Structure 1
Amino acid sequence: MMRGGKSYAPSQNRMPSVSVIIPTHRRPHLLRRAVESARAAGESVEVVVVDDASADETARVCRKLAGIKYVRLERNQGVAGARNVGILASSADYVAFLDDDDLRLPGSLDLQREALAADQRAGFACGAMLMSDQSYRPTGEVFAPSHPGGDAFWELLELEFPVMPLSTLIRRECFLRVGLLGRHLSGIDDWDIFVRIAEHYPVLVTGRPVGLYRRPTPSSGQGSSAQAAQLRRVARHQLQLLRLPRAQAAPAGRRRAARGRALNRLADTLLWNAAWQVPRKE
């Protein structure tokens, strides 16, 4: 099912400080830019590219990318499955996820690693993102964390604190405590893991932008463009997250309030997206 490729250590005498996991499937033209952005984001970065059973030029492109760890999956595992394989193939104490069509900003991994090293309690650090169009031209929008940091369990559970994988750096020990990503949670595996981590660990928020996020379109092939189906999955899965020990220990009224706030947030998102797609008059 899995076959490994090149291995990489930033130097002969030093282990990497951060592992960046890049899952990819049939988009070889995007890989070089993503890999280069990961390298520029830190001084000692291990880049793990997980080829999720691509049947195109992906393997050939990866052979030409010096200094990466390349892992090929013989059967498609989906984004969460590929991320899990990347975690298991990586070696650093801190883990970042980078989609093949997004970019990390220079120095951003070092910034977040230093913040986590200074606060051993925190499970992950998150920062702001710059939004771009499909050609990587910044739109001028900045997606910034809406939480000051600290205990963010209920805000994440209620969808009041949206966190994107691109904007985060995660302490490896978190996966040992809460487990890996849920392969069956297509499109929401990241939300699920952040809630499960926040059940046990505080969150660090860094103000500076750390990544460039390519805004999805219906034809872009990005999973988040099929948002209505994704929001339905969120609504169903929140019921499972409300069974986590910390949620179950709270009063029933607190859980009902969390459910109501999440459903209201989902409804608002659907309405906003519908309004955004209405043609504007010139």
Structure 2
Amino acid sequence: MTEQTTRPTQRPEAGDHPDVVVSIGTDHHAFDRLVRWTDDYARRHRDLSILVQHGHSTAPEVAAGTPFLPGDELGARMREAQVVVTHGGPGTIVQARRAGHLPVVVARDPELGEHVDDHQLLFVRRLEQAGRVRACSSPQQLSALIDEALASPEAFRVRPSADGGPERAALRAGELIDLLTDTCAGPGAPEPVVRPAGAWPEVTVVVPTRDRPELLRRTLRAVEEQEYPGRITTIVVFDNDQPDPALARADGERPVRVVTNTLTPGLAGARNTGVLAADTELVAFCDDDDTWMPGKLRAQVEVMRAEPGTEMVCCGIRVVYDRVEAERSLDRTSVTFGDLLASRLTELHPSTFLIRRGAMLDGCGTVSEEIPGSYGEDYELLLRLARRAPIRNIPEPGVRVLWHRRSHFAGRWQTISKALRWLLERYPEFRLVPRGYARVAGQIAFAEASAGRRGAALGWIGATLRHRAAEGRAYLALLVVCGVPPGWITRALHLRGRGV
């Protein structure tokens, strides 16, 4: 995660009633520009109470600040405030309008390193044209809009029910953004269907793909055959590959859309392209070489319906390698951040992920596109979501996961090593969990040994053993250093449903 300033932030007291609330969301990109603008305003208005929820940005020096607030608490602060200022995240804007405010919005700018792309700039522009926000792009404009809102509060108020379902309204507005202009010919996004209360929610399944047409069609069939009463829309995202318009289908309860990855090439960008193109509350991931078992989605959505506060549900898997199947299921129904630091928990495979879309767009952020080669992007997303709340797990297999020699990361040892080192740098908490640090360090050692970098491998073997002498990956890496082919080791592990 982004480094924080050393200045301690001020957690607001329960009785505080801020005049101005500024919410920057929880995206891992810093948005220091908006914090500075707010502090400049606070210096000139010492009589006002200003609260900044600054996420991973530098804490304010003058205004009160807190990195994160639970959603209900942030909503309460917004309702108490006279003015609400937000970044351009759809979920934050929705929350401000739900609290009765016409928000003042500053969009993140990718050229300043504030986001991965320009979708906030486009999104906010569309919302301003529709009269749903007041946008600003300079500190002078921000100051003027806050002054205007304080002087004429009724001009910056909306009825919380005026949107007719604010979340859907914001998400539909987002579809106006031309993020997916490269989509192939075929049916466009279906109009959202308004269903009666208690109905099964619509789900969007994001399937990234590259050069695996036969496996992809098998994956799509498994989604189509789900024993799920609600509508399932599949978005197939072609990544560095020619899209196949013949896959697109608009009719029935199982439509399929075909798009191309418009973001960073790789799994992370492809998944984010699909998430941004979705218009449903729930999104699921499935890789193009995996297949869902018939009852998988229904079982997960039942958990979501019963527990509105749950943001993510996973399930067990069956690993298939060379016609050998091995079941991998956790014997627990809840997974915490600490659990994930200690172990990768391979059972929580990305093809099992079912996530509330808002938890990403206005929660922990979308899939990280900064990880080298997108390796481990699923694990890093798990860590961020688990930081917010425990992840629910169904301790039975719901997905068949195919491990094979055509895996994208097979043999990409330098990419794997670089990505894992990035992970250790971004999550210093691993240092507090020797077992977890040793696990990742051992994986790096194995990757370096497999890449033929003997010196680096020995260094990481030493680091692994210093943290945990019983970590087996250090000894596997040592075997590779001594000349054992890494393929022999990985094959032996895969036959047992395991990996390095």
Distance 1:242 1:11 in 2: 39
Give the letter aligned to residue 364 of structure 2: V
Deviation string 1:160-194 (CA, Å, 9 cap, x unpaired) is 42321012211212202111111232221111111
Distance 2:443 2:264 in 1: 32
Specify the alignment match of 1:36 in structure 2: 221
Q: CA deviation at 1:159?
A: 2.7
Could you tell me which runs of 5 or more consecutive residues in structure 1 were left unpaired when the two chains were aligned.
Answer: none
Deviation string 1:38-72 (CA, Å, 9 cap, x unpaired) is 122333211111122413xx424324796211212
Distance 2:239 2:439 in 1: 36
Deviation string 1:92-127 (CA, Å, 9 cap, x unpaired) is 211111111111111211110111221233221111
Specify the alignment match of 2:394 in structure 1: 206
Distance 1:276 1:190 in 2: 20
Give the letter aligned to residue 235 of structure 2: V
Specify the alignment match of 1:254 in structure 2: 432
Q: Establish whether residue 128 from structure 1 lines up as the match of residue 312 from structure 2.
A: no
Distance 2:220 2:191 in 1: 14
Matched position secondary structure for 1:223: coil
Give the letter aligned to residue 178 of structure 1: C
Task: Report if the CA contact (8 A) 1:22-1:50 is conserved.
Answer: yes
Q: Alpha carbons of 1:159 and 1:255: their partners in 2 closer, same or farther (altered >3 Å)?
A: closer
**Computing the radius of gyration over CA atoms, which structure comes out larger, 1 or 2?**
2
**Counterpart pick for 1:195 among 358, 379, 383:** 383
Specify the alignment match of 1:115 in structure 2: 303
Distance 2:443 2:241 in 1: 36
Q: Percent identity?
A: 23
Q: Establish whether residue 236 from structure 1 lines up as the match of residue 424 from structure 2.
A: no
Matched position secondary structure for 2:182: strand
Specify the alignment match of 1:167 in structure 2: 352
Specify the alignment match of 1:6 in structure 2: 187
Q: Establish whether residue 184 from structure 1 lines up as the match of residue 398 from structure 2.
A: no
Q: Alpha carbons of 1:261 and 1:277: their partners in 2 closer, same or farther (altered >3 Å)?
A: closer
Could you tell me which runs of 5 or more consecutive residues in structure 2 were left unpaired when the two chains were aligned.
Answer: 1-179, 446-471, 478-485, 493-500
Give the TM-score normalised by the residue count of structure 2: 0.47
Q: Alpha carbons of 1:95 and 1:197: their partners in 2 closer, same or farther (altered >3 Å)?
A: same
**Counterpart pick for 1:46 among 206, 209, 233:** 233
Task: Report if the CA contact (8 A) 1:52-1:76 is conserved.
Answer: no
Q: Establish whether residue 153 from structure 1 lines up as the match of residue 340 from structure 2.
A: no
Deviation string 1:1-36 (CA, Å, 9 cap, x unpaired) is 742342455995549521100111222233222112
Q: Alpha carbons of 1:76 and 1:172: their partners in 2 closer, same or farther (altered >3 Å)?
A: closer
Task: Report if the CA contact (8 A) 1:124-1:204 is conserved.
Answer: yes
Specify the alignment match of 1:18 in structure 2: 203
Distance 1:199 1:211 in 2: 25
Task: Report if the CA contact (8 A) 1:128-1:207 is conserved.
Answer: yes
Deviation string 1:207-259 (CA, Å, 9 cap, x unpaired) is 22111111122xx1x2242364465245313323424xxx4xxxx97356642
Q: Establish whether residue 275 from structure 1 lines up as the match of residue 456 from structure 2.
A: no
Deviation string 1:116-160 (CA, Å, 9 cap, x unpaired) is 2212332211111112246xx5x23112136x2435212212334
Give the letter aligned to residue 109 of structure 1: L
**Counterpart pick for 1:142 among 327, 332, 338:** 327
Give the letter aligned to residue 315 of structure 2: G
Specify the alignment match of 1:103 in structure 2: 291
Matched position secondary structure for 1:92: coil
Task: Report if the CA contact (8 A) 1:19-1:48 is conserved.
Answer: yes
Matched position secondary structure for 2:380: helix
Distance 2:261 2:402 in 1: 25
Q: Alpha carbons of 1:167 and 1:90: their partners in 2 closer, same or farther (altered >3 Å)?
A: same
Q: Alpha carbons of 1:76 and 1:26: their partners in 2 closer, same or farther (altered >3 Å)?
A: farther
Q: CA deviation at 1:263?
A: 2.7
Q: Alpha carbons of 1:229 and 1:143: their partners in 2 closer, same or farther (altered >3 Å)?
A: farther
Task: Report if the CA contact (8 A) 1:132-1:212 is conserved.
Answer: yes
Q: CA deviation at 1:265?
A: 6.7
Give the TM-score normalised by the residue count of structure 1: 0.79
Distance 1:159 1:230 in 2: 21
Task: Report if the CA contact (8 A) 2:187-2:250 is conserved.
Answer: no
Matched position secondary structure for 1:81: helix
- CA-atom RMSD in angstroms: 3.1
Give the letter aligned to residue 111 of structure 1: A
